[in-house]
Amino acid sequence: MKIMDAAQENRVRRLANRLNYQVTKSRQVIHMNNRGKYRLVNDSNWVVMGVDFDASLDQIEEYLRNKEKSWANVEYVDQPAKG
């Protein structure tokens, strides 16, 4: 694995953990149901992306960044009003 690939994988894994997701990489022999890439799983163990281990790190990172942005825009009811 290239150094840049390892750095991206670590970055995406940290981002996923922050958002309660897990990135898994296939370690099995590549076949029809295993494309040899990555899978994104939520905290309920549901596959969100890459059912056949066919998601790239770029795709997962983009999904997580969008998820992170959407969570940043959420206002919580139990927070005091601003102002």
pTM recorded for the entire structure: 0.75
* pLDDT over threshold 80, residue 3: no
Question: What does the pLDDT read at residue 40?
Answer: 97
- Residue with the bigger pLDDT between 36 and 81: it is 36
Question: What does the pLDDT read at residue 13?
Answer: 95
Task: Express as a percent the part of the chain with pLDDT over 90.
Answer: 48
Question: What does the pLDDT read at residue 46?
Answer: 95
- pLDDT, the chain, mean: 84
> CA-based angle 15:49:52, to the nearest 5?
130
